[in-house]
Chain A
Amino acid sequence: MFTLLLDNQTEEKLEIFLSGEVDIASAPDFKTKLYDLIGDGKKDIVLLCNGLKYIDSTGLGILVGALKKVKSHQRNVYIYQLRDNIRKLFHITGLDMVFILEEAV
C-alpha cells in the first residue's frame, strides 16, 4: 500500500509526500486520492518520493494524467527524491523528459 499526504500548500504549489508501493491493486485508490489533492490543477505539484518503494506502468500513467491536468493551466509536476530503481523506470519510458525530476545527488 501507499501513503499520500499533503505536506504543504501555497497559492502556487502543492507539496505531497508519496511513500510505499503503487501497484496494480492500489492504483485505483492512488488515482482517486492524487486527483482529489490536485483538484482543478491550477497549482504546481511537488511530489516528495523518498519513501516510494515501488511503482509500475499503471502508477506512472496516473502521474502522466496528473501532469496533463496541471499542464492545461501552464503548471508543472516536480518529482523529488526518487530512488534509483524507480528513476530508471522514468528514464526507460522517456518520462524523465516530461516531468521535472530533481537531479540525482
Chain B
Amino acid sequence: MLYLNKRDNKEIYRGFVLSDAHQACEKVRMIISRIEKTIGINSEQSFDVRVILSELLQNAIRHGNTSGDPKVYMNVRIKGKDMLNITVRDRGNGFNACKIMQEEQKRANGKTPDLTECGRGLQIVKSLCDDIVFNRRGNCITVRKRLSYQK
C-alpha cells in the first residue's frame, strides 16, 4: 500500500476495454484490486467503486458503440492523496444528461419511480460519486470520488 501525497497522480489503468460482458467484469475486478493495493480502501468504498466502474462500462458498451468499433476507452487514476478519477469514453452519439437529473429529482420529491427495467445506472453513479462531468457530446464521462484510507 502506498501513502500518496497531494502532488501524486497515480495511474491505475489506462486503455481500451472490449465490449464483452465477461471481459468488462474481469477488468473491473482487476482495477479494484489495483486500487486496493495502492490506497487500501475499505470494503464499502470498494463496493461503491465497483458499482461505479461497472455502470459506466455497461452504459458505454450498451449505448456507445454505434461505430462498429467494440471498444471503450477507460482511464482510472488517483490524484493527490485520495481523489479517484475515472474517465470513460465511447464512440457513440452521446445521451441526454438532463434526463438523469430529472429521474434523480423525481426520486428526491418522493414520487414512485417508473417500473422500467433499465436506465438506473447513471442515477446510481451520480449518487455514489462526488462529482460527475459529461462532455458536450455526451459520450465521455468523468467521475470523481474521494476515497478514504482503510483504518
Contacts and interface: CB of A to CB of B under 8 A. Distances in A.
Nearest to B46: A85
Given A25-B22, A25-B25, A85-B48, A56 B117 contact: no
B124 interface: yes
A24 B117 contact: no
Contacts of A25: 21-22, 24-25
Contacts, number: 68
B107 A98 contact: no
> What is the size category of the interface that chain B forms with chain A?
20 to 34
Interface residues of A, number: 24
A94 B105 CA distance: 11
Interface of A: 23-25, 27, 54, 56-58, 60-62, 64-65, 67-68, 84-85, 89, 92-95, 97-98
Interface in B97-151: 106-107, 112-113, 115-118, 120-121, 123-124, 127-128
A9 B48 CA distance: 34
Q: Which secondary structure dominates where chain B touches chain A? A: helix
A98 B113 contact: yes
A58 B115 CA distance: 13
Given A27-B21, A89-B124, 8 more contacts: A24-B24, A25-B21, A56-B51, A60-B120, A92-B124, A92-B127, A93-B123, A94-B112
Contact of B54 (A24, A85, A94, A95): A24
A29 to B, nearest CB: 11
B8 to A, nearest CB: 28
A100 B25 CA distance: 30
A89 B120 CA distance: 10
A44 to B, nearest CB: 17
